[in-house]
Amino acid sequence: MANFTPYSQANTSADRAYGCCFLGIIVAVFAAAWYALKYAFRAAFWLMKYVFIAMYYAFAAPFLLFEILWRQGGLWRPVLVVSAGLMFLVALVLVLTAPSRPAKPAVVTTATVPAPPTAVATESPVPATPTATESAVPTATETRTPRATPVAIVDAPSPTSIPPEEPTATVATAVAPEPPSGDERVAAFVSSVTDGDTVRLNYEGTVQSIRMIGVDTPETRDPRKPVQCYGAEASRFTKEILLKQNVTISFDETQGIRDKYDRLLVYIWLPDGRLFNQLLISEGYAFEYTYNDPYTYQAEFIAAENDARTAQRGLWAPTSCNGVASPVTPTP
């Protein structure tokens, strides 16, 4: 009978041979990669050596040339001194005459709001006044003293809004004051409301905290003071009118750009042309407030406060604060 190798034994031998070949290929690949990296790093370090040498001589060449010529003496020394002085003057002139960074142009819209005739609105229902329960978050505020100087009331009654307690028989519509000539307004977006007279705006690509000029609402967020009467209503009114709205703002050169807390001092104009600062006062959500210097719309704001007091709107109502921003009495 002829000798033969069983199939299973032959198959096992072939597998072993293939395994050895595969292992050899892997070892060869890793060895080749190792030597390639080794010589690549050697070449890189060798090249970097000469690169650094070239950089050194490129930097030091002027100084070496200066030293060689200086050692020559004679006419070379005054020539080198004059050349160095001229190079210094040229560098100084280039630095002094370099153009400064251009100021970012502001998007300016100018609008003149004509004074419409006085209109009388109909009686509006009054929602119940909620309890002031806003949380106390530290907010830097100025020391404010409400002013109530009697001034003749102009024909600029306040607009209809949400009074706090009982309905008022008639509520007049506020007339936005005429903007002065050259009044520049800049587009902005109200991103959040801090309290009745302080909001945060997206303005020229940044988020800025702003303080409304000529306005003082009762406190709700100052940890140094208790929540004052009608503060929560003022904050809610500002949120209802301004939050997530596109508005325009303008500055007042008599008040400066920022206060001591780095807040922008502005007037806020609604899309329909009304001045929100005045609207807060005329609806009885704020007092007129003059900080040091009189501002452009002071007379209109004082007239709006007198009108709100006479009509007993908002915080001037006998059933709310009666014109006094006193602390809220907690309910037992």
Catalytic residue annotation:
211, 219, 263
Distances (CA, A) of 178 to 115, 275, 297: 7, 10, 9
Task: Find, among 174, 187, 203, 175, the residue nearest to 247 by Cα.
Answer: 187
Number of CB atoms found within 10 A of residue 239's CB: 16
Alpha helices in 169-297 (DSSP H): 231-242, 276-282
Structure-block tokens of residue 45: 């370090």
Strands 171-172 and 185-195: unpaired
DSSP assignment letter at 287: E
Question: What angle (nearest 5°) sits at the alpha carbon of residue 277, between those of residues 226 and 135?
Answer: 25
Structure-block tokens of residue 132: 């002031």
